[in-house]
Amino acid sequence: MSTFLSRLLFKDGGPQSAPPSDGSPPLRPLMLPRIIATFENIFAVIGNTPADNQKDVYITGDGSVFDEAIQGGTPTWIPCDFIPLGPSKTGRSKMALPDNFTLLAFLASASSNVKGGFRVNVYDINRRIRLTERPVNFNAIAGTGNSPLFLGGDWGSSRFALPYQFQPTNAQVMITVVNLETVNNNIEFVLYGIQGGHAASQ
Amino acid sequence: MATGNGSTGPQIVKIPRVLVVDAAVTGNAVLFPALLTIPQDADFEWWWLAISRTSALLKMLLTESGTSRQMIFPGSQLTAGTQFLGVNVDNLAGTVAANGSFPIAVPYVMPASRQYTHQFSDTSGVTNTVEVVYHGFALLAVPQS
């Protein structure tokens, strides 16, 4: 059976073995290594662990992708619990953040996830900035500790983005949660980040 | 580091190290304590967290004893009569085997001999066997030759 590659390599039949009738030039053998390079290019792999690129924050033999943005500080989890939130109910919680908090990731879980679990909206009260355009399904904004999505980083100049720093003192964030389930739902939404530390690039 | 007398100061070498906290949390326990003590031979640079547990109905609090520094804050306003019990362990980390270890992202140095208090709260009703594993590096000071 001739394949696209074998037709290019050996001209073993198929429409490409004869010059195209439309007057365009035939495919040249020079195209082959370019195609193979596309298939096997090791540099095409993004990040360290192709299995879970969204939590690639360490670079082999180097350090963290946040090294140029922030160094030092204490890892900090700030959970917002609704135990439980009633069926189809909306809950709001104004969360006071620790001083000098830099947001790195969201984490979330729900005890019931039959009809989508819950939606969540994140709002920076001090700066009046919505961090979510509209309420987002929790599975689409956050994973558990198994599968975090890290925000920002310095994966080279093309993917450089500073992680979000809240107001240095008295920062507050409003979390709005909508239970999509028709049963009581134990909901936890967590802000993960760094308290303190210093900006390495400034 | 030059000391001025012809000799040089110690060099820091990173040696892979894994620190483990084991606890058999009794059913419905509230703030069940377990302690991690950093080995006294070197500071520990924390890079990854991994957790295995019997039931996911388990919360954890983590406090640095020397500084009373909390790593898990009560963000939401608590209703009267409730107690802050921390974060669900599954929101903290999973197991390495399931590709679920959590990268701390900005590595944190835990000083030698310092103690870290873990407090577990169970709602499964039966004994919950939990293991919290810290992956990172011992920052060993070795004399420069």
pLDDT for position B120? 97
Radius of gyration for chain B, computed over Cα atoms and rounded to the nearest angstrom: 18
| Domains in chain B with CATH codes | 21-72+85-136 (2.60.120)
A71 contacts B90? CB cut-off 8 A:
no
A contacts of B86 (beta carbons < 8 Å)? 79
Option in B98, B99, B106 nearest A64 (CB): B106
B49 contacts A145? CB cut-off 8 A:
yes
Does ipTM come in above 0.90? Answer: no
Q: Higher model confidence: residue A182 or residue A40? A: A182
Mean pLDDT of A179-199: 92
pLDDT for position A33? 55
pLDDT for position A43? 46
Q: Distance between alpha carbon A191 and the CA centroid of its chain, in Å?
A: 14
Q: How far is CA A89 from CA A7, A110, B57, B78, in A?
A: 61, 14, 23, 18
Average pLDDT, chain A: 80
Hey, where are the domains in chain A? 4-44, 50-195
- Per residue in A17-72, pLDDT (tens digit) is 555 566 776 666 555 555 554 444 444 444 555 556 678 888 777 788 888 788 88
Under-50 pLDDT residues of chain B: 1-4
B92 contacts A93? CB cut-off 8 A:
no
CATH number of A50-195: 2.60.120
B103 contacts A77? CB cut-off 8 A:
no
Residue A64: partners with Cβ closer than 8 Å, 6 or more residues away: A57, A58, B105, B106, B107
What's the whole-model pTM score? 0.81
pLDDT for position B1? 44
**Closest B-chain CA to A76:** B71
Q: Are strands B10-25 and B115-122 parallel, antiparallel or unpaired?
A: unpaired
pLDDT for position B130? 97
CA distance A103 to A175: 14
pLDDT tops 90 at residue A139: yes
- Per residue in A117-127, pLDDT (tens digit) is 999 999 999 99
**A122, A175 Cβ separation under 8 angstroms:** yes
- Per residue in A70-87, pLDDT (tens digit) is 888 999 999 999 989 999
pLDDT tops 70 at residue A137: yes
CA distance A82 to chain B (A): 9
CB pairs under 8 A between A and B: 111
**Closest A-chain CA to B69:** A74
